[in-house]
Structure 1
Amino acid sequence: MRRTSVRGTDSEGGERLLILSAGVGSGHNSAAAALQQACAARTDIAEVQVLDVLKVSSVLYRALLGKGYFALVEDLPWLVEWGYDISDPPFRRRGPIDPWTRANVVPVIDAIKRFRPTAIACTHFLPAQLLASLLLRGVTDARTAVVTTDYDFQGLWLPGAFHSLFVAREEGRVELMALGLPPDRVAATGIPVAKELNVAPVRDVNEPPMLLISAGATGGDYAVSVVRQTMHMRSQFRATIVCGRNDALRMRIEQLVAPAGDRYRVLGFIEEMPQLLRRADLFVGKPGGLSSSECMAAGLPMVLVNPIPGQEVRNGDYLLEQGAAVRCNTATTIGWKIDEVLREPGRLQRMKAAARRTGRPDAAADVLTGLLDGPSRPLVVTRAAQKTILAATEQRVVATDLTGPSSLVRLIDSAAGSTVALLQTEELGDLQKRYASANGGLVLRRGRAPVTLHWEARRLLRAILRGDEALPVRVEGLSAPFRVLPR
């Protein structure tokens, strides 16, 4: 765990922010680091901690989730794609966290209790699902944010309880609203990326275009093939190749490009990636969520190669749709593909403009604002409502198309105006018997929850009442025609 004190004029008694990530690849931790960096600009944060939940889990658990995933990507990509698609519908996997995972998250729960956060941001779905369980059990009442790290929303990221959900683009927000999620709990902020603190030097316009090739991310043999094909290009260019911590790959590529003199520069792991992104003209690599969002924030178009099935393919589809990328489906034509971009008059400039339009460089700051200035009570999606959302997904309908006892209703905090619960119409009857008020709404009360009250309703009350004895709420149906509300 890393600890950073954030001092400001209002730091006394300020927010205590815990950022939970999971080191499955580098993207989730990069998003966590971007949020940590953005904390320095706020005077209301007294302290921030960042924790990679896999680092405090067992070696076996960490290996299976981390190394096991990339082994499947390398050897069984079709299985990765199948797993992504099968887990895509929200709430397909319902119920408590499995015993093995629960045993491995005990150190995370201990860390939460020690730090006593007032706010928690999750940049991976594993801690997001854990936090939902802790909110419903009353273990924590910290404001909790789910911060997605790919352009397409994936169902595993939707937990049963949270305060704020931040998605990468407006289409993801529309998708969740169509399934019944309230617009006051979902925001399209973009993916958090680190800010470049030092301005990159201005390049001479007479210099040839600069390619930035992410070789470490594309894998050994494939990366070598990509670099080899650029050596056949007709256009003038210079290239920087970043191999990360893969020393063997770096040496292979150094030997490969040695005859080209100083046209190629080969690097290992570096901290100056933001500066390289801003000096380059074209990025060549995989469309990971963080790589893509960092490129877009820098106004850097992409040549997409060898995407991981599932989220990276979908990221690439979005970038292609925006006009900020081209895709090469085989390494043998990549030199030709880059030549086509560089030799067509005005094409590279148009792609750069599209990347700038797509980029969200202030996403980290926007996430912090949405979390810390957002609702203080969580939104609880009951198990029955989760079933309705899953059924709507499978039937390809929006929530307002559903009728009868399984249709959805919202409970709205009468004072704050925020949605505190999403439940089935059928569940409303039990609450109305006990908590009906004269004005047609409900007054939820801690002292009026007898043992006979259904356990799901007891969990709901515990989570949304927090320290209060009573909470007036109004009931709002979803019968109005679906429409996209203003952000």
Structure 2
Amino acid sequence: MRRMSAPSSHTAGGERVMILSAGVGSGHNSAAAAVQQACSARPDIVESQVLDVLQVSSALYRDVLGKGYFVLVEDLPWLVEWGYDASNPPFRRRGPIDPWTRMNALPVIQAIKRFRPTAIVCTHFLPAQLLATLILRGAIDARTAVVTTDYDFQGLWLTSAFHKLFVAREEARVELTALGLPPDRVAATGIPIAANPDVASERDANGPPMLLISAGAKGGDYAVAVVRQTLHMRSAFTATVVCGHNDALRQRIEQLVEPAGDRYRVLGFTADMPQLLRRADLFVGKPGGLSASECMAAGLPMVLVNPIPGQEVRNGDYLMEEGAAVRCNAAATIGWKIDEVLREPGRLARMQAAAQRTGRPGAAADVLTGLLDGPSRPLVVTRAAQKTILAESEQRVVATDLTGPSSLVSLVDQAAGSTVALLRAEELGDLQKRHAAGNGGLVLRRDKAPVPLRWEERRLLRAMLRGDDVLPVRVEGPPTPFRTLHG
């Protein structure tokens, strides 16, 4: 594959940022749009582009991944939960992308070639996996970021090569560094959301609390049960119901609330969600990563209903842990649950304060700063290191517990101070034979020895060296007993 070179970020041309997403739900694309919006605020970025990789894939591939997911959510939620758990262990998915995905990735590769980015941000794991393959082949020379879009980290997002990994909360960062990932390559920024600097808080402290009931962009039928339950509430309130693109749902709810007079306002899809989020006192809906992040940034606590098994359940767990949400597990108790929040003195105010503390409105800007000001060389995680991380995580063992040949070591760029490779200690042998330096470190060079390198070592060197012929690195780890015995 021909190398897709990009101009240096220090050239007069400035940064060219490409944001790759996948339209499985609206959250990934919303995060991509938020990052693009943040690009416009940086004078060093001269152009940005968002690409939904599914939109340039075949119709069959798009339907299987996009529509197929929502069919499972509606009809086989237990299978969605099983799939989430099965793909959660770190580095369970290793190696090159499968042939079907590779075939559908060709238009994405062509788009990258045409745009010639200096930096690429992925808000879905599909393009992140593709970029890892391109980095290891030496086919791309752009800084790459993986940006997760849920509060709990899922191992499916881990790839074998990237420049920076951005997670939603500190616990996820701690988890990844405990598994062995270098701390300089993982940052907890929050989930990127659109900035709305002109939207001021408009909550009416003197009026009854306003409920914002959301059926999601597609308009989930669960909203009917929510609205029906609120009709039986004892507390004073007003409600705005957003039905998304589902016109039939909107008509059903309008008929349902007609006897209640002007207490309810029923909307279809609206561009006024930023204003509604800041005007409302309590959000009732699903805890998608982007929806939850937008609520938290607006200081809006949540009543969680009908979460998708897997990521949305875990999002809800985090929000409840922070005191910014309550969850309804039965449709028959939704009205009672909301009543409990509204009737207890001070409870709503405490939940609003917790939401405000949890919000990260500057996440998109922080992602760009962390990527563009971060390491210029990618981090490569060898397959042996990936296998160790997977095996030990299943045994509930963290990286610092490892000793012997299977322990993890890092190669650190001596000039930049950034970690460029994570490998197993036993893999150092061949590198030391060819690249050992007098100070105990290594000086990596393009191989000219008569004995060819093994495939794994060859692609490791290719990714680390990039356009250089020489790279001095130092070795950090493994624990002292192994280094003394074998050093």
User: TM-score if structure 2 supplies the norm length?
Assistant: 0.95
CA distance in 1, matches of 2:473, 2:201: 56
Q: Secondary structure at the match of 1:166?
A: strand
Partner amino acid, structure 2, of 1:301: P
Does the aligned pair in 1 maintain the 2:277–2:298 contact within 8 Å?
yes
Partner amino acid, structure 2, of 1:338: I
Does the aligned pair in 2 maintain the 1:400–1:480 contact within 8 Å?
no
CA distance in 1, matches of 2:116, 2:197: 31
> For residue 241 of structure 1, what is the aligned residue in structure 2?
241
> For residue 7 of structure 2, what is the aligned residue in structure 1?
none
CA distance in 2, matches of 1:353, 1:468: 51
- Taking structure 1 as reference, are residues 219 and 329 closer, same or farther at Cα in structure 2, changes over 3 Å only? farther
Q: Secondary structure at the match of 1:423?
A: strand
RMSD: 1.5
Does the aligned pair in 1 maintain the 2:219–2:245 contact within 8 Å?
no
1:99 positional shift:
0.4
Question: CA offsets, 1:428-447, max 9 Å, x none?
Answer: 10000000001110000014
Partner amino acid, structure 1, of 2:396: R
Does the aligned pair in 2 maintain the 1:218–1:286 contact within 8 Å?
no
Residue 379 (structure 2) pairs with residue 379 (structure 1): yes
CA distance in 1, matches of 2:155, 2:254: 42
1:451 positional shift:
5.5
1:306 positional shift:
0.6
Matches within 5 A, 1:94-243: 94-200=94-200, 202-216=202-216, 220-243=220-243
1:141 positional shift:
1.1
1:270 positional shift:
1.1
> For residue 331 of structure 1, what is the aligned residue in structure 2?
331
Residue 472 (structure 2) pairs with residue 472 (structure 1): yes
CA distance in 2, matches of 1:448, 1:440: 22
- Taking structure 1 as reference, are residues 320 and 176 closer, same or farther at Cα in structure 2, changes over 3 Å only? same
> For residue 6 of structure 2, what is the aligned residue in structure 1?
none
Residue 50 (structure 2) pairs with residue 53 (structure 1): no
CA distance in 2, matches of 1:116, 1:464: 20
Q: Secondary structure at the match of 2:404?
A: coil
Q: Secondary structure at the match of 1:216?
A: coil
CA distance in 1, matches of 2:449, 2:73: 49
Q: Secondary structure at the match of 2:84?
A: helix
Identity of aligned residues (%): 83
1:265 positional shift:
0.7
CA distance in 2, matches of 1:230, 1:352: 20
Residue 386 (structure 2) pairs with residue 392 (structure 1): no
CA distance in 1, matches of 2:205, 2:178: 48
> For residue 457 of structure 2, what is the aligned residue in structure 1?
457
Partner amino acid, structure 1, of 2:363: A
1:217 positional shift:
5.6
Does the aligned pair in 1 maintain the 2:217–2:245 contact within 8 Å?
no
CA distance in 1, matches of 2:401, 2:227: 52
Question: CA offsets, 1:258-292, max 9 Å, x none?
Answer: 11111111111111211110111000000000000
- Taking structure 1 as reference, are residues 442 and 144 closer, same or farther at Cα in structure 2, changes over 3 Å only? same
CA distance in 2, matches of 1:472, 1:268: 59
> For residue 436 of structure 1, what is the aligned residue in structure 2?
436
Matches within 5 A, 1:16-31: 16-31=16-31
Does the aligned pair in 2 maintain the 1:216–1:223 contact within 8 Å?
no
> For residue 300 of structure 1, what is the aligned residue in structure 2?
300
> For residue 365 of structure 1, what is the aligned residue in structure 2?
365
Does the aligned pair in 1 maintain the 2:216–2:286 contact within 8 Å?
no
- Taking structure 1 as reference, are residues 395 and 53 closer, same or farther at Cα in structure 2, changes over 3 Å only? same
- Taking structure 1 as reference, are residues 13 and 220 closer, same or farther at Cα in structure 2, changes over 3 Å only? closer
1:199 positional shift:
2.3
Question: CA offsets, 1:23-63, max 9 Å, x none?
Answer: 00000000001101111211100100000000000001000
Question: CA offsets, 1:232-270, max 9 Å, x none?
Answer: 111111111111111111111111111111111111111
CA distance in 2, matches of 1:289, 1:281: 20
- Taking structure 1 as reference, are residues 469 and 12 closer, same or farther at Cα in structure 2, changes over 3 Å only? closer
Q: Secondary structure at the match of 1:144?
A: strand
Partner amino acid, structure 2, of 1:207: G
Question: CA offsets, 1:439-478, max 9 Å, x none?
Answer: 1100000144655211111101111101101000000004
- Taking structure 1 as reference, are residues 220 and 413 closer, same or farther at Cα in structure 2, changes over 3 Å only? closer
Partner amino acid, structure 1, of 2:380: V
Partner amino acid, structure 1, of 2:48: V
Does the aligned pair in 2 maintain the 1:307–1:313 contact within 8 Å?
yes
1:201 positional shift:
5.8
CA distance in 2, matches of 1:301, 1:11: 45
- Taking structure 1 as reference, are residues 453 and 277 closer, same or farther at Cα in structure 2, changes over 3 Å only? same
Partner amino acid, structure 1, of 2:142: A
> For residue 92 of structure 1, what is the aligned residue in structure 2?
92
1:224 positional shift:
0.5
Partner amino acid, structure 2, of 1:67: K
> Number of residues paired by the alignment?
472
> For residue 254 of structure 1, what is the aligned residue in structure 2?
254
> For residue 413 of structure 1, what is the aligned residue in structure 2?
413
Does the aligned pair in 1 maintain the 2:199–2:274 contact within 8 Å?
no
Question: CA offsets, 1:202-246, max 9 Å, x none?
Answer: 343221111000123696432111110001111111111111111
- Taking structure 1 as reference, are residues 474 and 103 closer, same or farther at Cα in structure 2, changes over 3 Å only? same
> For residue 402 of structure 2, what is the aligned residue in structure 1?
402
1:197 positional shift:
3.3
Question: CA offsets, 1:357-387, max 9 Å, x none?
Answer: 1000100110000000000000000011100
1:162 positional shift:
0.1
CA distance in 1, matches of 2:439, 2:288: 51
Does the aligned pair in 2 maintain the 1:218–1:305 contact within 8 Å?
no
